[in-house]
A and B are shown apart, each in its own frame.
Chain A
Amino acid sequence: MMASSYNAKEEDGHHSVSAASGPSAGPSAKSKKPDNTAFKQQRLPAWQPILTAGTVLPAFFIIGLIFIPIGIGLFVTSNNIREFEVDYTGVDASSPCFTCSQTYSWNSSIPCKCAVSFSLEQPFESNVFMYYGLSNFYQNHRRYVKSRDDSQLNGDKASLRNPSKECEPYRSHDNKPIAPCGAIANSLFNDTLELFYIDPNGTRTQIPLVKKGIAWWTDKHVKFRNPGGNNFNLTVVFQGTTKPVNWRKYVYELDTDPENNGFVNEDFIVWMRTAALPTFRKLYRIIQKKSNMTPTLPRGNYTLDVTYNYPVRSFEGRKRMILSTISWMGGKNPFLGIAYITVGSVCFFLGVVLLIIHHKYGNRNNSADIPN
């Protein structure tokens, strides 16, 4: 990218010194004469790049020429991804979940259920990923983020009994330590979403949702561990602790599958990986592709059955259910493609402008007017 050539700086003649050095500089006398090394004399060989027209302009063109195709590729890929989003917060009175959202509070014992219907215009091929999305939810707030105890979540028994102070005020309840402690765990998303396909003839078919494999392998296997190692009797393990204030169940009751229960429950793990931005989506379930013949989600009508547990109206949050396919670059994300195309074009354009400026006004013979 830059004009360059290696330059071993010429061995400068030190005639002035050698003439003066005389006998004192002889090897026998302990002379204070500095060593003649390239380092000490600042003569280290060096590469000395300069920004010249010959290097800068091609660089701009090359960047332009590389970025535009990448951008187009990204954009096309992103456009080919199917994504469908349903807002089931129930803000409008017409919305099926309006009642639930109005009546609901953390303390109510009867779950409120509502069903949202929607239809897919186009079939979803390959695996479909089901996300829940929350808006205006500050999972990145400092006090929220730090309110957890990673030792406890990693199965440390001491921390289980005596969670970190960071968990305050969700550290203990009724003089019992909370497991898992802290605000993040306390606010675990606990809506249950179920998806039904409505046949054209009216039959509801429940679509199987896979709940394993939604968390990072490292989280599931390294970062999160139940206390007591392989002891699957979690009730015993969590003896003496209590559930987070907002929870209905104890942590060892999250799932019946011992591999997915307690701290290693994947829904819990996904929730515990806090989002960077206040609007986020988290993977909820995976709809596996059944066969090559039929699409995973065919075109048609669907119902989303929601067990409405999670209140968001107080902070004007929104809850969404998102169905999406993915590609090599992840989910639908037009931003990157557009950004690449833009930057590529700008670079190309800049290259042209610089070329013109250089030709018209540039000082191509820079060293001409140096006095010698």
Chain B
Amino acid sequence: MTVPKDMAEKWLWMLVPWRGRRNPRNKNPGQEEERRVKASDRDYNEKFPYADNRIRTSKYNIFTFLPINLFEQFQRVANAYFLFLLILQLIPQISSLSWFTTIVPLVLVLTITAVKDATDDYFRHKSDQQVNSRQSQVLINGKLQNEKWMNVRVGDIIKLENNQFVAADLLLLSSSEPYGLCYVETAELDGETNLKVRQALTVTSELGMDMSKLADFDGEVVCEPPNNKLDRFVGTLYWKDSRYPLDNEKLLLRGCVLRNTEWCFGMVIFAGPQTKLMQNCGRTAFKRTSIERLMNTLVLWIFGFLLCMGIILAIGNSIWEEKVGKNFRDYLVWEDVLSNSVFSGFLTFWSYIIILNTVVPISLYVSVEVIRLGHSYFINWDRKMYYGQRDMPAEARTTTLNEELGQVEYIFSDKTGTLTQNIMVFNKCSINGKTYGDVYDEFGHKVEISEKTPCVDFSFNPLRDKKFHFYDHSLVEAIKLGDPMVEEFFRLLALCHTVMSEEKNEGELVYQAQSPDEGALVTAARNFGFVFRARTPETITLYEMGKHVTYQLLAILDFNNVRKRMSVIVRNPVGQIKLYSKGADTILFDRLDPTNDDLMYTTSEHLNEFAGEGLRTLALAYKDLDEEYFADWMKRLHIASTTLENREELLASLYEEIEQDMMLLGATAIEDKLQEGVAETIACLTLSSIKIWVLTGDKLETAMNIGYSCNMLRDDMNEVFIITGHTVLEVQQQLRRAKEQILGSGRETANCSKDAEKTEQYRNDSVFEETITSEYALIINGHSLAHALEADLECLLLDTACLCKTVVCCRVTPLQKAQVVELVKKYKRAVTLAIGDGANDVSMIKTAHIGVGISGQEGMQAVLASDYSFAQFRYLQRLLLVHGRWSYYRMCRFLCYFFYKNFAFTLVHFWFGFFCGFSAQTVYDQWFITLFNIVYTSLPVLAMGLFDQDVNEQNSLRQPKLYEPGQLNLLFNKRQFFMCTLQGIYTSCVLFFIPYGAFSNTVRDDGSHIADQQSFAVTIATSLIIVVSVQIGLDTNYWTAVNHFYIWGSLTVYFSILFAMHSDGIFRIFPSHFPFIGTARNSLTQTSVWLVILLTAVICVMPVVAIRFLRTDLYPTLSDKVRHMQQASRKQRPQEQNLKRVRRTSSRRSAYAFSHQEGYGELITSGKNMKAARLFPAPPTGRIPGSSSWIESLLKKRTEMASGAAVGPLNGSAERSKSENTPVQQQHID
């Protein structure tokens, strides 16, 4: 659908700067009080400041780039500061350094950042452009014209075709389907893959596709202003002097996909940034890592420190001028501007600010960026995060968050498409007391099913679904042998359902199932030779083992959450009336004929087994019906269904009556296929103290099922709390009860407070949390969550949730997902990561510190909003434990070293101040100051920041505990910062005072002097370079060739540049710029100078080595231990050690396979829809004839809103939890 954009267009867009400016998209939508939109009346609509349909996420265009980017860059304190320094340096009385010492690094920094920003923005332009230039058909002047999305205006009537993305928020006017129905897939919005139905007003649906009528349509919509509520819309349509109420059911939202509807017309109500999708996306907040925040704080501290030093030295200068300088004026007169010593001190202050500015290293920010960029590339390059099936490498979409990956404490995960593949697979079954589905080898051992296991060959069946795999051959053999029970089993699966079939071409069946579970079951029956081929309201046609058989459909006994079963009553060609029923085992087993007891016992064993493997199970039963009895029953049913009072109850009791004394056939087990390695990944992440919360739009049962199958919920958990309250009070009570139960009644204080003592409290709290050995889980549904997220309950919710090992939130809206993340972000000082694959996860992905997008089948919205993307959930383990950990480790080591280095370098000036009359004289050569940070010392530390590894990747994965220092922020915090600045101060002291002592009286070995300033400078500079090189050597744990090259190279470069700049040649060319002529030669040939350098280096490094040795020797960290082990075992080739395979060892748990709430039997029997389907022959685009019916019923049912959602009883803990999860009415969110 996306029109391939051509390059010219793209560039045009970049060249025309303010094309999109006509629409006041920047206007705060909150100001709009109501919206009035007139159809096809652009003139009228343009009177209002409504946004047009262009979206824009980019920041610059070609003309605005330079000014805006520079402006932004100078908003960074550091850059502005260096600009300020540059200006200071131009004042001759202050200038203590020449201008190039600042401007060279500054320009370098600005350029690198600008290039990076430009690249980023270019890609944003590209993606915007791609979306904006999608085509849509707009009705202009009575004709349909192709327009780009961005040219669509509010009020336009546009035509959508099947499988197209909805371009804006539309009011549905008419559609190809009867009653103005149309179907949309809202996966991009809320992640639900099932179809939703929208229905146009009757008056507008009559417009049909008559262009002239549509063009004449001039209704005016008055509605609410743009908002982010996906499930709510209030408006009124004024047309032909009548008013029609509008609600959410008449609205097609941007981001939906039109399905099973040939065409439809809609009128644009909200466009572009004002659509509900975009409003839901939230602002693209600039994400910063906690280290960066800390870094900024530290830089401010350093500024403070700098000011202190400046003030001390300025005061010193005033005193010196007063006491000494005054008398020294014979040799050093005061200049005109210098009027008194206080003013001199003032000027000196600024001079020292300039000299000491290198404690705030400008290259720090650039180096940090470079390191992050490198880490991002390592993520992109990682073959172990590459998914071959879809040719999808992992991608770091932002380069600024890498080290935060090493500090994650909370993971918020979507379920569908993230943990699961959203594929239901018929996995096992038990028929007449025999299980099928497991594969055994010749010795009778169970074989783990893998890619290599041979599949059952279904080629005997021309109508088979080729994607279906089954591995147990015995079932097919049973079918072929004509085992009647097996046949009946599959017949049941083929008959008892509400699936619609469509046959595009002969033999090419497509099933449209409302729930994927049902689809899986019918597909299984199809492959085993009981092909459900077509249905009419009265009949179901099967293709049974090569023969067409038509069953008469007599009744559908519908599914609901109380009944937890569905049945059909059919008359087979022989004339027998049969009732086929499938449902939850607990329900069905109560209604079996007593003769089934033995079979029930075995089947129940099998069910335990299936449930233990995390499969969703269903029990199947049938019953032969007596003709007379059925006729009587049918009559009663008819009467009951026409009564007005107590109809539901009457029907229920009638259903109950007939569904008795059934014969058990067996049970099915469906696997909600988890993505590969999900359970292992979750287990591993849990071991690294990461808490995983599942936030899903899915139903409670489904979510819990997945929770069990990926090992987040276990039967050996002490308690699984289920919060399903409908009012604030209920929710509060349930949460309280849960919390009290966990804590015991003793401790009841709410820890959640935002005030100052927070940290302290949390520390206690976390200690306490760890003492809770028993495991709890909390499951909360969206409705309760809405209450729980209110201000007065959120603390309770958070406290309770944090005490639990597992938290599952189901039925949550995208915004709620974001709110939950926000909640944790707000109260816990923890790094959060959100992972998801659909557009419904976008807000959460954007809210969390780190957003990860799974590049699945469901569109790219999540990926586009994410910071990292890859194809499989299991790569998260590697992203966090390997890349994240390394990034964090490297960044911390880098920062420590960088601050150390700059303190050591700069503070020498401070000490020298006391000996040069506080005159802001530099110790070093100006060139040395210019080059120190950007040439002499940048590359070794960069190499360390890029390549260092304390522990190799295998051990990072094998020892998840290694991840913990990152969460606890141990490697770089304020304390570490103090340690490394102290080390820097110590080094600077040594660097100054050792040469000071040695030089005070010394002379060269030929008697001439060497205690001059230049030799002093060279000696200190050389010592400094050697000391910091030794230090980086000590800090580097992983010496690759690059590290060797950079470290030795930097030393070489230092000496080469030193000698070059002190050479005769360069002095002859620029005599005034290189006054150090000959100094290197004259001083570095002296033994005593080298003795001084050696002494300095040893004194600087020795204590560091001693302390580090003691620390690793006495209190080794896990990382130290693993490193020792690594070294010890390096000789022997480390054998690949797999994590223990996590298998659920679980007991029985009833899992009801239906993931839908309501049955659609009534619709099918009414058959109204099917006629309609005949009227519009199916186009080859994949429309399902008659699929509308069940949706209509859904619509109707939805209004009733009374589907009792009893929570599936959790047998593992059922006894205890019974009091907790009182079955509460569960509602749809919308």
Contact = CB atoms under 8 A, between A and B. Distances in A.
Given A33-B388, A363-B1113, A218 B1098 contact: no
A3 B1130 CA distance: 13
Contact of B388 (A20, A144, A328, A357): A20
Interface stretch (B433-441, B528-536, B1001-1009): B1001-1009
Contact size class for A?
35 or more
A295 interface: no
A34 B393 contact: yes
B1039 A47 contact: yes
B1 to A, nearest CB: 23
B328 interface: yes
A25 B390 CA distance: 10
A89 B1102 CA distance: 44
B384 A275 contact: no
Interface string A336-368: 100110010011001000100110011100110
Interface string A19-51: 111101100010111111000111011111111
A172 interface: no
A260 interface: no
Interface stretch (A110-118, A135-143, A198-206, A249-257): A135-143
A40 B1011 CA distance: 51
Contact of B1102 (A46, A49, A63): A63
B1071 A330 contact: no
B388 to A, nearest CB: 3
Contact of A223 (B331, B333, B1067): B1067
Interface stretch (A9-17, A90-98, A230-238): A9-17
B87 interface: no
Nearest to B1080: A218
B8 interface: no
Contacts of A369: 1121
A329 B1087 contact: yes
A68 interface: no
Interface in B451-497: 451
Interface string A270-288: 1001111111111100100
Contact of A50 (B949, B1014, B1123): B1123
A186 B328 CA distance: 13
B324 A138 contact: yes
Contacts of B1042: 44
Interface string A35-78: 11000111011111111110010011001000100100010000
A186 B1120 CA distance: 63
Interface stretch (B285-293, B821-829, B913-921, B1144-1152): B913-921
A21 B378 contact: no
Indicate the member of B382, B1001, B1005 with the most A CB atoms within 10 Å.
Answer: B1001
Nearest to A220: B1078
Given A51-B1109, A276-B999, A339-B1095, A46 B331 contact: no
A193 interface: no
B1130 A5 contact: yes
Main secondary structure of the interface of B (DSSP, over half): helix
B1097 to A, nearest CB: 11
Given A17-B388, A339-B1095, A9 B335 contact: no
Contact of A169 (B333, B451, B919, B1044): B333
Indicate the member of B382, B1109, B1136 with the most A CB atoms within 10 Å.
Answer: B1109
A159 B1092 CA distance: 38
Interface in B928-983: 947, 949, 952-954, 958-959, 961
A326 B1105 CA distance: 37
Given A17-B388, A46-B1039, A367-B1125, A329 B1091 contact: yes
B773 interface: no
B386 interface: yes
B451 A16 contact: no
Contacts of A36: 383
A183 interface: yes
B388 A21 contact: yes
B1041 interface: yes
Nearest to A55: B1109
B784 interface: no
Contact of B1122 (A144, A216, A329, A370): A370
A214 B1081 contact: no
A354 B1106 contact: yes
B1072 A151 contact: yes
B916 A141 contact: yes
A137 B330 CA distance: 11
A320 B746 CA distance: 83
A189 to B, nearest CB: 11
A346 B1015 CA distance: 29
Given A51-B1108, A363-B1114, A343 B1013 contact: no
A141 B919 contact: yes
Interface in A90-132: 106, 127, 129, 131
Nearest to A148: B1075
Contacts of A277: 915, 996, 999-1000, 1011, 1016
Given A151-B1071, A219-B1078, A331-B1003, A44 B1040 contact: yes
Contacts of A87: none
Contact of A367 (B382, B954, B1121): B1121
Interface in B575-593: none
B1128 interface: yes
A138 B323 CA distance: 13
A29 B1126 CA distance: 39
A147 to B, nearest CB: 8
B1011 A280 contact: yes
Contact of B1109 (A12, A56, A144, A151): A56
B387 A20 contact: yes
Given A3-B1127, A218-B1078, A51 B382 contact: no
A293 interface: no
B384 A215 contact: no
A194 interface: no
A149 B378 CA distance: 53
A290 B1099 CA distance: 43
Contacts of A156: 1071
B1211 interface: no
B1071 A150 contact: yes
Nearest to A280: B1011
Contact of A12 (B954, B1016, B1078): B954
26 contacts: A9-B952, A16-B384, A33-B383, A34-B380, A34-B383, A44-B1041, A46-B947, A50-B1037, A50-B1123, A52-B1124, A56-B1105, A138-B332, A141-B325, A141-B919, A145-B1013, A183-B331, A187-B330, A276-B1017, A281-B1011, A326-B1003, A340-B1095, A354-B1106, A358-B1113, A367-B1122, A367-B1125, A372-B1137
Given A34-B386, A217-B1078, 12 more contacts: A13-B1136, A32-B393, A42-B886, A50-B1127, A56-B1109, A169-B333, A216-B1008, A273-B1014, A327-B1005, A330-B1003, A333-B1002, A372-B1137
The 8 closest A-B pairs by CB, nearest first: A218-B1078, A367-B1125, A21-B388, A276-B1016, A142-B919, A40-B381, A366-B1124, A129-B1007
Interface of B: 92, 96, 324-325, 327-328, 330-333, 335, 351, 377-378, 380-384, 386-389, 391-393, 451, 886, 915-917, 919-921, 947, 949, 952-954, 958-959, 961, 994, 996-1017, 1034, 1037-1044, 1064, 1067-1068, 1071-1072, 1075, 1077-1078, 1081-1082, 1086-1088, 1091-1092, 1095, 1098-1099, 1102, 1105-1106, 1108-1110, 1112-1114, 1116, 1118, 1120-1128, 1130, 1133-1134, 1136-1137
Interface of A: 3, 5, 7, 9-10, 12-14, 16-17, 19-22, 24-25, 29, 31-36, 40-42, 44-53, 56, 59-60, 63, 67, 70, 74, 106, 127, 129, 131, 136-145, 147, 149-151, 154, 156, 164-165, 168-169, 183, 186-187, 214-219, 222-223, 246, 270, 273-283, 286, 311, 314-316, 324, 326-333, 335-336, 339-340, 343, 346-347, 350, 354, 357-358, 361-363, 366-367, 369-372
